[in-house]
Amino acid sequence: MKFLYKVTVLLGILIVLSCFVQFVVFNKFFISDTNSLLLSTNEKAAENVSMQLKENFKKVQNFLKSVAADDEIRENQELLNKFNGIIPELDVVTILNSKGDILRMSGNVHAPSVSNLAYRDYFQKAIHGKTYISDVFTSTGGTEIVVISVPILKNGSIDGVVVGTVKLQGNSLASMFDNKEFGRKGYICVLDSHGYVVYHPNKERIGKKSVIFDKLQGKSGSKIMKDYSEKEQFVGFSKVSNLNWYVAVITPTADIMTSRNIIVYETLLGSVVVSVLIILIGVYTIRRYSKPLNQLIFSFNALKDGKYKKIDPHNYEEEFHEMVRVYNNTIEMLKETHNDLEEAADIDSLTGAYNRRAFNNLLSTVKQEINNRSLESLGVLLLDIDHFKELNDTSGHLAGDNVLKKLAEIMKAAVGKRSVFRFGGDEFAVVIRNVSDERLLSIAEEIRLKGEAALNGCTVSIGAAKFPKDTYSIDELIDFADKALYISKKSRNKVTIFAK
């Protein structure tokens, strides 16, 4: 009954912990993952829209350049009107002479309030030979517009300017974006280089300063931030490179949070139901099997001390005999496997050299010997096979395996099996106790020369370092040998002794 009481209490605690996990851990990671996914999706969408906007403006520029290059189109009003109808993104096309006087207009034209536009930035930029796209500004008619201007070249000189006007509160620019949807209530916002709204589905926002502009940094990114409505939004943004404008794809967080909370609470409810069922099943099972299970648990705990002891099935009810038989068979296999693993855990199966695990264990032992001042000297060689990847690519992995085996045999013959370690891939290490500088160099050269002769066209680069000559730290010793190896790899088939 005592054991039953403990388990019942434990199951009750597990339910509480399960609720905690649902509300804290799961909820945290779930929110983090969904936020990251939504922000990443909006950022990618902003990049795509940015590219589309760039291409659309490029198309408009090419159209205006075509008009600027063709005298017949510029001088024929009917032809200019037809040509303008090809580009729906433009509201008005205006032809100016070199003094800024309006010669001709086409498109959604109202009677201009001025006849000369020489004072405008876009005219000044174009008349000096630059193709120019303006930020948002208010026209003399009180309309927010963006202007694209290109110079008219004639006989090697600038003879005038072609100006394309996009009315931001009209349908021309909106046609690029109004048909795009980004989840529930998601939308696109385009900002100029000063943060003024070029496009927004709410046309009242066009021409006004955006509240999120100061938070947009870099070529692209995503953040959770508040927009003009003071509500949090998932904002993905991307800079239009040739304009220094920003495209932002914005999705409200409220609807997503509501759906996400429903999922969390449904998961929590399911967890509670499952936990209650587990308690009921557990109590029933414990009542029936508590005593024999205690005996089995005691036997399993003995495994932690390395005691592979079988149990007597006669001490158990008949329904437990199969479990006992499986346990005893498992104990027998574990005993055999343990013996095999003890022998093989430190050996690389391909080359027969010691592996990285054995190398790390050796370093721990060496550190203790250094601390106890019982180690006189230690030489370390780090080796890397030259041209090994090319051999694998051209001759196959079996050829590469043979080279690894040959190099391992060469090193074992030079320093003995217990000093050779394979890091992985084509990297090896040799650790030699109480070795002189001359002997360490001699061993390295012996390995290099024999490798050159036997490794099927591959060679060996070697870096060497020595304790205590180079350092008293075993970690620095490995690092120094690696730096020496790096120098050898530059010319290949070389031994480099570390030197400060």
Tell me which residue of 467, 459, 474, 418 sits closest to 440, measured CA to CA.
Answer: 467
Q: What is the CA radius of gyration of the chain?
A: 39
Pick the CATH number of 356-497 from 1.20.970.10, 3.40.800.20, 3.40.50.300, 3.30.70.270: 3.30.70.270
Per-residue pLDDT at 497 exceeds 80: yes
**What pTM was estimated for this model as a whole?**
0.45
The yes or no reply on domain 26-278 and CATH 3.30.450.20 is yes
pLDDT at 180 over 50: yes
DSSP for 366-382, written as a single string:
HHHHHHTT----EEEEE
Instruction: Give the mean pLDDT of the chain.
Output: 82
Q: How far apart are CA 180 and CA 187, in angstroms?
A: 8
Least confident residue range of 40-44, 446-450, 460-464: 40-44
Task: Please report the pLDDT score of residue 389 as a whole number.
Answer: 92
User: Higher model confidence: residue 478 or residue 173?
Assistant: 478
Other beta carbons within 10 angstroms of residue 155's beta carbon come to 5
**Residues 6 or more apart whose Cβ sits within 8 Å of residue 132:** 121, 122, 125, 126, 147, 148, 149, 150
| All residues at 6 or more sequence positions from 158 whose CB lies less than 8 Å from its CB, including other chains | 98, 126, 127, 128, 129, 151, 152
Which among 187-191, 259-263, 479-483 has the top mean pLDDT? 479-483
Least confident of 20-24, 110-114, 391-395, 410-414: 20-24
pLDDT of residue 1: 45
Separation between Cα atoms, residue 71 and residue 48, nearest integer Å: 36
pLDDT in tens, 117-144: 888 888 898 889 898 888 887 777 677 7
Which pLDDT score, from 0 to 100, does residue 365 have? 92
State yes or no: pLDDT of 51 exceeds 90.
no
- 176 pLDDT band, cuts 50/70/90, is low
CB 127 within 8 A of CB 161: yes
* Interatomic CA distance for residues 311 and 84, integer angstroms: 94
Q: For residue 135, report the phi and psi dihedrals to the nearest 5 degrees.
A: -80, -175
Dihedral sign for Cα 106, 109, 110, 115, please: negative
| Calpha distance 212→235 (Å, rounded) | 9
Detail the DSSP E strand segments found in 142-219: 144-154, 157-167, 187-191, 197-199
- Residues 5 and 439: their CA atoms lie apart, in Å, by 70
Higher-pLDDT residue of 171 and 381 is 381
The domain limits of the chain are 26-278, 308-342, 356-497
Q: Report how far residue 332's alpha carbon sits from residue 338's, in angstroms, rounded to the nearest whole number.
A: 10
Q: Taking 90 as the threshold, does the pLDDT of residue 442 lie above it?
A: yes
Query: How sure is the predictor about 473, in pLDDT bands with cuts at 50, 70 and 90?
Result: very high
Answer yes or no: are the C-beta atoms of 235 and 41 closer than 8 Å. Answer: no
Phi, psi (5° rounding) for residue 421? -135, 140
Q: At what angle do helices 27-69 and 253-303 cross, to 10 degrees?
A: 140
* pLDDT mean over 407-414: 95
Report the pLDDT averaged over residues 59-88.
Answer: 84
Strands of the 232-240 sheet, one edge to the other: 197-199, 187-191, 245-252, 232-240, 220-226
Measured CA to CA, the distance from residue 69 to residue 50 in angstroms comes to 28
Find, among 403, 405, 376, the residue nearest to 388 by Cα. Answer: 403
Cα distance between residue 179 and residue 188, in whole Å: 10
Encoding tokens for residue 253?
């967080």
pLDDT value for 87: 77
Answer yes or no: is pLDDT of 3 > 60: no
Could you read off the pLDDT of 288-311 as tens digits, one per residue? 666 666 667 777 777 666 666 777
Contact (Cβ atoms closer than 8 angstroms) between residue 108 and residue 170: yes
The 8 Å CB, 24+ separation contacts for 442-448 are 443/379, 443/381, 443/414, 443/415, 444/381, 444/495, 445/495, 446/414, 447/381, 447/383, 447/407, 447/410, 447/411, 447/414, 448/493, 448/494, 448/495
Residue 5, pLDDT score? 57
Cα 465 off chain centre by = 37
